[in-house]
Structure formats: C-alpha cells, structure tokens
Structure 1
Amino acid sequence: MSVAVAQPIGRSEPLPITPKPVDRTVDPAPVEAVMRRARAAQKIFAEADQEGADAAVRALAWSLYKPENARELAELAVADTGLGNVADKIVKKQRKTFGTLRDLLRGRSVGIIEQDHAKGLVKYAKPMGVIGAVTPSTNPGATPVNKAMMAVKGRNAIVIAPSPLGYRTTARIVALMREELERIGLPADLVQILPEPVTKDSTEALMRACDLIVVTGSQDNVRRAYSSGTPAIGVGAGNVPVMIDETADLDAAAEKIRDSKIFDNSTSCSSENSVVIVDAVYDQAIAALERAGAYLCTPEEKGRVAERLWVKGKLNRDLIARDAAVLAEAFELPPEARGSRFFLVEEEGVGRAHPFSGEKLALVLTVYRAKDFAAAKARVAEILEHQGKGHSCGIHTTDMARARELAADLDVVRVLVNFAHTFGNGGGFNSGLGFTLSMGCGSWQKNSISENLSYRHFLNITHLVTPIPEDRPSPRDLFGPHWEKIGYVEETSAEAGR
C-alpha cells in the first residue's frame, strides 16, 4: 500500500531537581545516530496528506491490536516486570489502542484544521519534528504505541526511552510498529527506541535533542524533562479517592470499584486507592464491597499489611501489582480471605504517618468513614492534598448537585460520577474524555497540561489572519463599571481612549 503525499505547506511527588552537569564521558553517538535517522524519516513523512497520516496511525494501532501480538506482548510484559496480569494487559492493549484509534481518525492534523470566519482566522497544522517519549514499566507495550499513534498523527517521528525493566517488551513492540510502517511504504525510522542500556544520561541526551518530550511514569523523569530546555509534557502521580454517599446504588458502586481496582492488579494511576463512605450507609457499603469480592482486614491484619507492603518507607517491589492470592499469603490472611479479589483496610488519618492514605499500586483499598457529605468532601480534599492533587477523584451518587460541588471546589482535573474509575478516567466508550495513557494534572502537580494527552499536543499551529470589521468598544463599554465606583466623569474628546 502506498501513502498519498500532498504538496508541503511548511517545513518543517518529588521536589524539583537541579539538573546535573552533563557527563561528558558518556558517548553521545548512539543518541545522535537515532536522532539523525528520526529526522531523515520525519522529513519525508512531513509531506504526507491526511490520508497518509491516518494510514500510518492505523498501521501502528494494528501492530498492538492484532490479537496474537497483544497476547505476546502481555505475556512478555508480565514475565519481564512481574507487574499486572496477562488477561487484563491484553484487554488494556486492545481497548486503549482501539479507543485511541477511534479518536485519532475523527480529527484533522494536516493542512487546515479549523476556520473561524467571524474572526478571520484559519488554522493550519504543522509537525513538531521528533518527539522524545519516556515510558513506564507498568505499561511497556501499550504506552509506547499510544504515544506513537498520537505523534505520527501529527506527522512527527518518535524516539522512545523505556523503563529498563520493560525494555524487552518495548523493543518488541517497536519492532512490530516498524514492520507495519514498512508494509505500507513508510520509513521504519519514524518509530525508534533508544539502544540499551537506557540510562539517565542517554535519556537526558534525548530530551535535549528532540523537539518535544512527553513523559509518563517516574516523577524524577518528569522534573528532568521540564528542566531540559526542551518543551515538555509530563503527567502527575495518581492517588484516586472516591466517595460513596447515602444516595448511591451501593451494589453498583461496589462492583464498579471492584472492576476498576482489580484491573491489571492496580497498575493504573487511575485505580481507586481510597473510598470515603458517609456514615449513614457505611456498614451497608462495606457489606456491598464484600459481596463484590472484598475482604475487610482486622486491625491486627492491617498491621501485617502495612509491615509487608512497605519496606523502609517504600512500597515492596515484590508485592505491588501482584495477584490477590499472592497478597493473601504474604499478609498471612485467614482462609476466608484467600478467595477474595481485593482487600479493605480501615483508616482514620492522612499523611506521611499514614501510608495507607497514599498510592499503593496493589489490591489494597483504604476505607474512610465520614459523618456526612461535607465531611467526606473534606476528607477527599485532604487525601488529594497529601498525594495526587490535580489528578482525579470520583463519586457514587444520584445527587448531581454534589458532583457539581466537587467539580467546582476540588483541585483536580477530572471528577468522575458513577464510573469504574480506571475505565473512564483515561477515556472510555461511555466517557467523553479522550482515550489516553497520559493524564495531565495541571499546575497542581507542575504539569503543563490539565487534560488528557491527545494528538493536538503534538502539533504546531499556523494562524492565517485576515481583516474583519473593526471590533472596537467605547471606553465607557469597558471602564464604565469602574468609573461609577470612583466617580470619574468621561472625557468628551473624540479622541478620548483612542
């Protein structure tokens, strides 16, 4: 299949860190070689029309959506990282890829993408060039494809710097993406991976050399990206609290929380980490969660969970994102807990002294009791202030006024109502949010975006500006209310305010 080409329309939670001096002993040649190939491929692809850009996006999507590829990469990711489970990773890879493809094919990214006749403006999309993408070990297959699809939609090339733990998985999907591009006559070098070993030095060299950096995962990498001198998009840490109020359908809420919490063993940043339940339905909601497959730990068992899930103040790598049966054994829970899907621990405090109030990346859900809606709202805000501010929260309710109050008052980018949070926050077929694996958290987490990452973030925009009828209000139109307050008498000169 050949790709249609048009005439060119233009060429082309950690604290902030102080960038370390460049280690001049590190050989820059591998990164420079990758960048040379990327720029050569992108120069060719910059000539593509919309049909050609969309053909490339479809090719990349198929490289992961293809059933045998999705399974191979899911198995490889679990084998290499030990995080999550194969069945859910297959679902994630196909669902996210399919949804992202739907969104991308519905938008324009070449030539004229918007016209506003009233303002005399026409907007033209142009490529940014070469995108540098830093991807996490939690999604070593899905995230590279998701970012590559968005980058290529804008006729860019992309170079991926994966987590070393997920390198083999990412290298495999990069190889598959390159094969699919070549099958439709496009340069394979539109998608590349940094050569092993991927180090902080090689990743920083990529950050300095590319035209835009997009970082998902380590907050250390996010800060390094913003300090690199290259335009950057980084996303923040999650720690999602959800509320259940007395108007909620308790069984429906419990089932949604379960489905979201257990998906891929809680590897998602959108997975629920705390549930705040109003007192009026607390016992009933706990019972509903138990019916949905939860096990409520006793205070003694909670102590063992804390002792083993954290080691020297850090999450135990051997227990995060593991199957429930593995956790039940590690926590020495009784036989009745061994068949549970996830585990509840009751908590009263928030902050560093209360580790259960933070993100756990495990099948452990913290439960808080609140006197009423106002107290529950305050608790949710407190949890977010501790960790995850800006990311998202949720509520299970039939009172939309409460949902609107949360959206108006809380410092988050997303408030989800009656959702399985993981399946709505990063885009869903019953959610208006765009499909993505990178969710901006705004200035609350020092992010440059407060929305879901999309292909529009990978475009340069040229504005064609033409004359329109003059739009000049009078000075009284603009200053009138202020003049009335200070007793100013308007000048009568015809030139006043000119």
Structure 2
Amino acid sequence: MNVRATAAETAGAPADEAARRIVELVARARDAQRAFEFAGQEVLDTAAAAAAWAIMEPARNRRLAELSVRDTGLGNADDKFRKNFRKTLGLLRDLQGRKTCGVIARDPVKGIVEIARAVGVVAAVTPSTNPGATPANKIVNALKCGNAVIVAPSPKGYSSCALLIDFIHAEFEKAGLDPALVQVLPEPVSKAATAALMREADLVVATGSQANVRMAYASGTPAFGVGAGNVASIVERSADLRDAAHKIALSKTFDNATSCSSENSVVIEEAVYDAMLDELRRSGGVLLDAAQKAKLQAVMWQDGKLSERCTAKSATRIAQAAGLDALASREPKFLMVEERGFGADHPFSGEKLAPVLTVYRARDFAHAANIVRDIYAYMGAGHSVGLHTAQTDLALDLGERLPVARVIVNQAHCLATGGNFDNGLPFSLSMGCGTWGRNNFSGNLDFHHYLNITRIAYPVAEHVPEVDALLGDYFRRVGR
C-alpha cells in the first residue's frame, strides 16, 4: 500500500480535497494501529527498534544529515549526524525493558491494577531545525506504545523527513510490519493540512514554532506542545571557569545553535567577569564592541524578526553578513555581545538560534538570578537554566525561585537538557515548559506521554480515618 501521496497528486488541490486526503491518511493509520496495538510487547519493541535503526545506521544517517543541511540551510552535517545517532541511542536505552502494553503495575494494598493502552493515531509536528532526530524520537516513542504516527514536517525539512520515513518503511518490510503505521503528510505541507491532521488525530505532539504549538493546543485534540527556548546560564564565582567556558562554547556552537537548549545568554558574577570572558575567548569566542554590536543587530533582526541570513549559520558567515570582515577573518567559533537591558528593545536578550552569546554582568549570585528572571519575563520562561559552580546546592535555590522546569548543573546545556549519558533526564528533543511557558507539562516528552493508563479498582478493607488524625495539628495551631 502506498502511504505517501506525491506532490503531483496534491498540488493545486482545493482545501476540501486536501482535507479529504488527510482523512484517508488517518483512516489508513487507524486501521493499522488497531491491529498493532494488541500484537504484543515483542512486536511493539520490534517496530520501535526498526524505526531507531532506520536513522542510526551510519550510511542512512549520513544521507539524512547532509540532506537536512542542504535543504534547510540550518546547522552542520557532522553535528546532525552525531545528534541523530546519540539521541536515538539514548532513547533506546530509556525504553529498554519498559513494558508498554498489558498489565504494567499491581498495588495489592490499594487494590489497583494498571494497564497500558495506546492513544491511537499521533500527529507529530516537527521543526526544520531537527528534521531527522525530532521525528525519529517521536516515531520511536509512539511505536513503542502501540500507536500509529503521521508526521507533519516543516516545509524546509520535508525532504529529510520523507527520506527518514522511506528508511523506516524499508526496515518495516524486513520485520513484516505495516508501513501505514508511520506516514508523512503529502507535499506540499501547508498550515491547513497540518491543522486538518491535528483535528483528525487522537493526540498531537508539537515541537517547533510557537505558532504551531498554539495551533496544536487550539486544535480540539489533546496536545503536548513546548514553549520557546531562550536559555541563560549563570557562572557563579566559585565555578571552574575553564571548564564552564569549554562547556558553554560546546553548547553554543553545536549544530550552529539550532537547539532550543543552546545558551542564548550567560550571566557572570562580577568577581570573575573578566576572567570568565578571557576563558570564553580561549574557547573561540570573540567579544564585539558597541559599533560591531550595532552592525550585528541590524543584520540579525529585520522588522523585529530573526533574519534567515544568520539563523543556524556559522559565526564566520554571520560576521561576514554583518560586514565585519576583519572579525570574520579570525574564524571565530561564536560571537559575544554585552547587554544590560531586556525585552523587544534589546533583541539580544531573546532567542537567537545562532552562535551568538549575550553576556550580562551580575553583582552577585542573587543579582544573577534576578537577571535570568528578567530575561525569562521577556522570552523563555519555563524552559531551563544552566549553573556553573562549585557550590552545587545553589541549584536548589534556582529550582525553587526561577520559572524553570530544569536546572542544569556544570554541564554543556544543549547536550544535557534533552537527556545525556551522564545525567538522568529522559532523552528527548521536546522539553515541556510548564505553565510558565504556557504548556500543560513540564518534563521531557517521553514514552509516558504516548500512553493511556486503564486502572482496575478491586475492593479492599475499608479504612476511614478519624478527623483528629488528619486535622489535629491544625486544631492545635489554629483552633476548631
């Protein structure tokens, strides 16, 4: 069965015809999913493994990485190759041995038995910044839980996503699995088609532009969407400055900063400000003066929006675009600008999706935390904050006071936030930002979000507590 319509079949089709094709697409997925859901854990695991190997196999991974950069113009192929492999490998680690169908838990004391159930057909909305790794992550999670999935890629990322689906179908053929379990919207992908898919699906998982996330939440279908990134990291005075600079530089430059978890700002305590700037320079950063900063701002933002001329490009190309040829000749790894303000009048305080790092000076740790709060009041609330320090208990203070779902301590932020082999966060490319970021979840999107849980309640011995056992302390402190 052909589960990918051609561009010729849909080009110029009226809106009602396009909607009809979406309905047919979902119907095929639903038919395949009904049989797949009850095929047993071994079949679900086989499907997830097939989808994972489709992107991890080195030759296919290289093709996907190079095609992604060629067609989107975002990032660099070597980093995408590493991301495709490591993120999928980490996901397989997280899923290994996990039971996602049938009885998954029994509590004899409470008389509760839990049964894992699939959600149905998943609409996976994916961005151009990660047109291979993000759909692969969602597909593997969805299949592991007995679901079918239809991907709605960004138009720029369509070719990479479609090739990934072809690779998955090749693995499915070897494993005897129905290709209708994994499909992609027909080309050309439009907002109308994506919206129609959202309405017809059973669950939407949306990563990418905030417009798509808002559309997901407004679709009438249960949805998980993620907030805007604009990560800041704090360098506290006790930090190992060389280590901090190395990790910040690694995070800032990986895949030309396409990740929402790449630092956009670093807030440095005054006591180590100059020394930290020196370490950042040694790690490949170049600090711009006021005139250079103004030129960079003019090219990075046009009519208040980020320019494609700079998004996910190398620091050298960005410097050339800004007319900073002498600086470009030094082949910097990333550019740095000093800033004091926040908000639309200070665009460097926002997300840049480029190897450009905004630097703030803080009097002390409390002031640094307040600067981060002001940054997130403009953009990025709920995502995460980095902390470089020898006093790791300070992370608790940030976790209790700042509007963030994650505090990343002494790690390369963009590698750590979505899970890494040296921390315990789930491997994911979609990080929930909680109510701070207008999201309905605050964890890393993982397989749990692709499941329904049915609970069977058996009768147990009745136990009714005395009122004083529950309110006695309150009565003693306040009175009856």
TM class by shorter-chain length? over 0.9
Superposed CA deviations along residues 54-75 of structure 1, whole A, max 9, x for unmatched, are 1111100000000001110111
**For the residues of structure 1 that align with 2:318 and 2:219, how far apart are their CA atoms?**
40
Superposed CA deviations along residues 90-119 of structure 1, whole A, max 9, x for unmatched, are 001001111111111232101111222222
Q: Aligned match of 1:462 in 428, 431, 454?
A: 454
Superposed CA deviations along residues 336-363 of structure 1, whole A, max 9, x for unmatched, are 5532100110001111110000000011
Q: Aligned match of 2:165 in 174, 185, 199?
A: 174
**For the residues of structure 1 that align with 2:150 and 2:393, how far apart are their CA atoms?**
45
- TM-superposed CA distance for 1:262, in Å, is 0.3
- 1:253 aligned onto 2:249: no
- 1:374 aligned onto 2:375: no
**For the residues of structure 1 that align with 2:397 and 2:132, how far apart are their CA atoms?**
38
CA separation of 1:222 and 1:336: change in aligned 2, threshold 3 A: closer
CA separation of 1:336 and 1:230: change in aligned 2, threshold 3 A: closer
Identical columns (%): 49
User: Paired residue for 2:11?
Assistant: none
Q: Aligned match of 1:275 in 258, 263, 266?
A: 266
User: Paired residue for 2:394?
Assistant: 402
- 1:309 aligned onto 2:287: no
Structure 1 residue runs of 4+, over 3 Å off?
23-27, 334-337, 481-488
- With 274-283 and 173-182 compared, the bigger mean Cα shift is at 173-182
User: Paired residue for 2:430?
Assistant: 438
Aligned amino acid, residue 349 of structure 1: G
User: Paired residue for 1:356?
Assistant: 348
**For the residues of structure 1 that align with 2:333 and 2:463, how far apart are their CA atoms?**
62
Q: Aligned match of 2:64 in 65, 73, 76?
A: 73
- Secondary structure of 2:405 counterpart: strand
Instruction: Determine if contact 2:319/2:327 at 8 Å carries over to the other structure.
Output: no
Instruction: Determine if contact 2:267/2:371 at 8 Å carries over to the other structure.
Output: yes
User: Paired residue for 2:230?
Assistant: 239
**For the residues of structure 2 that align with 1:334 and 1:46, how far apart are their CA atoms?**
58
- TM-superposed CA distance for 1:333, in Å, is 2.8
User: Paired residue for 1:115?
Assistant: 106
Q: Aligned match of 2:315 in 310, 324, 340?
A: 324
- TM-superposed CA distance for 1:331, in Å, is 2.3
Instruction: Determine if contact 1:162/1:198 at 8 Å carries over to the other structure.
Output: yes
Please tell me whether Structure 1 or Structure 2 has the larger radius of gyration of its CA atoms: 1
- 1:481 aligned onto 2:436: no
Equivalences, count:
466
Unpaired runs of 5+ residues, structure 1, are 1-22, 489-498
Give the TM-score normalised by the residue count of structure 1.
0.91
- TM-superposed CA distance for 1:24, in Å, is 6.2
Aligned amino acid, residue 323 of structure 1: S
- TM-superposed CA distance for 1:299, in Å, is 1.1
- TM-superposed CA distance for 1:136, in Å, is 0.5
Q: Aligned match of 1:339 in 324, 331, 348?
A: 331
- TM-superposed CA distance for 1:486, in Å, is 5.6
- TM-superposed CA distance for 1:384, in Å, is 1.2
Give the TM-score normalised by the residue count of structure 2.
0.95
Instruction: Determine if contact 1:26/1:201 at 8 Å carries over to the other structure.
Output: no
- With 159-168 and 267-276 compared, the bigger mean Cα shift is at 159-168
- With 144-153 and 337-346 compared, the bigger mean Cα shift is at 337-346
CA separation of 1:24 and 1:306: change in aligned 2, threshold 3 A: closer
**For the residues of structure 2 that align with 1:25 and 1:211, how far apart are their CA atoms?**
21
Superposed CA deviations along residues 45-88 of structure 1, whole A, max 9, x for unmatched, are 11221111111111000000000011101111111000000110
- TM-superposed CA distance for 1:487, in Å, is 4.2
Aligned amino acid, residue 431 of structure 1: N
**For the residues of structure 2 that align with 1:467 and 1:424, how far apart are their CA atoms?**
45
Instruction: Determine if contact 1:241/1:273 at 8 Å carries over to the other structure.
Output: yes
- TM-superposed CA distance for 1:28, in Å, is 1.7
